[in-house]
C-alpha cells in the first residue's frame, strides 16, 4: 500500500495476531514421520517445525503496513520506507 489508512493497519495487526496463534499451535500438532508413525513428543515437533517453516512464518508477521503508516506520519520524515 502506498498510503495505508489506520483501519487497514489495525486489520493487518489483527491478522498477525491470528497468525501468531497459529504458529504457537503448530508447536503442539503431531506429525507423521518417515515410518508412518505419529510423533507426539513436543521437543521433536518443535525441532522439526523450527527447521522447516518457522523462520519464514515469523518473517511473515512483520507489520509492513504499520511501518509504512508510521514512516508516512513521522514528523519531517523524508523516508519512503
Q: Is residue 49 part of a domain?
A: yes
Q: Does pLDDT of 76 surpass 60?
A: no
Domain count, the chain: 1
Mean predicted confidence (pLDDT) in 55-71: 79
Q: Is residue 27 part of a domain?
A: yes
Q: Does pLDDT of 51 surpass 90?
A: yes
**Predicted local distance difference test score (pLDDT) of residue 32:** 96
Q: Is residue 75 part of a domain?
A: no
Q: What is the largest CA-CA distance in the chain?
A: 61
Q: Does pLDDT of 27 surpass 90?
A: yes
Which of the four pLDDT bands, split at 50, 70 and 90, describes residue 57? Answer: very high
- Containing domain of residue 35, as a range? 6-61
Which of the four pLDDT bands, split at 50, 70 and 90, describes residue 66? Answer: confident
| Euclidean distance between CA atoms 13 and 63, whole angstroms | 7
Amino acid at each position: 500500500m502506498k498510503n495505508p489508512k489506520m483501519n487497514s493497519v489495525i486489520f493487518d495487526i489483527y491478522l498477525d495476531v491470528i497468525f501468531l496463534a497459529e504458529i504457537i499451535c503448530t508447536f503442539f500438532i503431531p506429525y507423521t514421520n518417515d515410518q508412518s508413525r505419529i510423533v507426539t513428543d513436543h521437543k521433536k515437533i518443535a525441532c522439526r517445525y523450527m527447521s522447516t517453516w518457522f523462520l519464514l512464518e515469523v518473517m511473515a508477521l512483520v507489520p509492513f503496513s504499520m511501518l509504512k503508516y508510521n514512516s508516512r506520519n513521522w514528523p519531517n520524515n523524508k523516508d519512503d520506507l
